[in-house]
Amino acid sequence: MNNLKFLLLGTSLSCFPQLAYTQCVTVQDCTALGYTESSCDGGKGVKCPFGNGWFCAEDESTVCDKNGFKYSCTGTGYSGGSGQPCGGKYKTCNCATNYTWNGNSCVLSCSSSYQYTCSGTGYAGGTGSACGGKYTQCTCASGYEWKDGSCKHKETCTIGTLFYSDGTCSNDKLNDKELLGVVIYEKTASENGWVMTVKPITTRIAWDSGYSDYSTGVMDKSANASCTNTAKLVALGNRFKAANAANNYKAGEKQWCLPTSGLLGTMNVPAKLSKINSGILTAGGTVLGDVEDGDEYIWTSSEVNGDYAWMLHAFTTGSGYPVITTSNKAAFNTLRPVFAF
C-alpha cells in the first residue's frame, strides 16, 4: 500500500508555503494527485473520487516486462539467459552452437560448409555434427567413397583402370591426382596386382650391355617374381641396363621393376588388351605397339639363356595381339616398368 500513501481518497488540501500565512485550498485534480490510469483491469485499482483517474497497482511480471525482461530463453537453439533475470525472464538470451541472437530470438545460422543432407543411395550418414539437418561431409556406405562432394560408387582397381599415387583407381583421368600407370594384372587373395607405365620410359635400351654369352640364371617367369628378378639383376651390376633403368625409375614412391615374361604374357588376351589400351588412351599414353617405328618390343626380366631374354612383341595397333618371344640381350628394345599393389 506504499504506492497509495500519496493518494487522497477524498477532498485534498494543498498548502502554498509562499503565502505569508498558511492557507489550505481544495484541490480536485486527479492528475495532480497521482491518478494516471484511465481504468484498471477488472476494477482492481483505486479510482479518483472526483474524476476518471485510477491508480492501478502493477504485479512483478508487468514491471519486468516494462523494463525489457521479456525472454524465457528456453527451447531449441537457446543455452540460457544473459545477465540477471527478472520474474524468470531476461533482456537477451545466449544461443546454442550454430544459432545467433537476432534481437528477439535465437535463429539458426549455419555456415555455407553445411550443405550435405547425406541421404540416399551410397550414404551411411553425416560426418560430425549437423546444422539444420545438414553436414559438412558425409560417411559413405560400403562400396562407395566420398569424392567431389558426394558418395560415388568406388571404382576398384580392375584391368585397364588408371592407378593414382593415393592408391585409388579410376576409369577417368583425374587432373588433381598423380597418375602412375594402368592396371595390367588384378590383385587377388594370393597374388599382387600390377601397374604398368602408360608409355615406355625409353624405347632403346639393352637387356645386357656386356655383349657376351653370360647366363645370370634369372629365369623366373611368374608374375610376382618381377621385383625379385629385377633385384637379382641389379645386384649383378650396371651392365644389365633394362633392370637398372626400371629399378631407378621414380614415381609415386613406388618400387618399380622390370616385368616378367609371365606378367606381360597375360596381356595376350583380346578382352584384356582392349581394356589396357583403352586406359592408356584415356591417360594420354602410348598404346602397346604404337611406338615411333611401329611394332613394339618390350623387355621382360626373364632370361632364356646366355644370349637371349624374353620380350613381349606388341604389334602395330590393330594388326594382332602381343606374343612372348625372344630377343638378343644386346638388342635395343623398349622398357615399361611395373610395380605391385
- Neighbouring C-alpha atoms within 13 Å toward the C-beta of 337: 22
CB 296 within 8 A of CB 200: yes
Q: 70 — phi, psi (to 5°)?
A: -115, -15
- Which pLDDT belongs to residue 18? 39
For 89-108, write each residue's pLDDT tens digit: 999 999 988 889 899 999 88
Spatial distance between the Cα atoms of 69 and 207, rounded to a whole number of angstroms? 90
pLDDT in tens, the chain (341 residues): 444 433 434 443 333 333 344 455 566 788 777 787 777 776 677 878 887 788 777 777 777 888 889 999 999 989 999 999 998 899 999 998 888 989 999 988 888 899 999 999 999 999 998 998 999 999 999 888 888 899 987 778 999 999 999 999 999 999 999 999 999 999 998 999 999 999 999 999 999 999 788 999 999 999 999 999 999 999 999 999 999 999 999 999 999 999 999 999 999 998 999 999 999 999 999 999 888 777 999 999 999 999 999 999 998 876 678 999 999 999 999 999 999 99
Please choose, from the candidates 277, 292, 257, the residue with its C-alpha nearest in 3D space to the C-alpha of residue 322.
Answer: 277
- Which pLDDT belongs to residue 23? 53
Cα–Cα distances (Å) from 185 to 16, 60, 193, in that order, read 115, 83, 5
Cα–Cα distances (Å) from 125 to 115, 145, 152, 239, 266, in that order, read 13, 13, 14, 58, 42
- Which pLDDT belongs to residue 297? 96
* C-alpha cell belonging to residue 15: 498548502
One-letter amino acid at 248 equals: N
- Which pLDDT belongs to residue 319? 66
Number of Cβ within 10 Å of residue 167's Cβ equals 10
**CB neighbour list of residue 85: distance below 8 Å, 6 or more residues apart:** 69
* pTM score, whole prediction: 0.60
- Which pLDDT belongs to residue 174? 93
Please choose, from the candidates 204, 194, 203, the residue with its C-alpha nearest in 3D space to the C-alpha of residue 230.
Answer: 194
CB 315 within 8 A of CB 322: yes
- Which pLDDT belongs to residue 7? 44
Spatial distance between the Cα atoms of 286 and 263, rounded to a whole number of angstroms? 19
Strand partners, 153: 144
- Which pLDDT belongs to residue 14? 38
* C-alpha cell belonging to residue 330: 644386346
Strand partners, 73: none
- Which pLDDT belongs to residue 9? 41
- Which pLDDT belongs to residue 2? 41
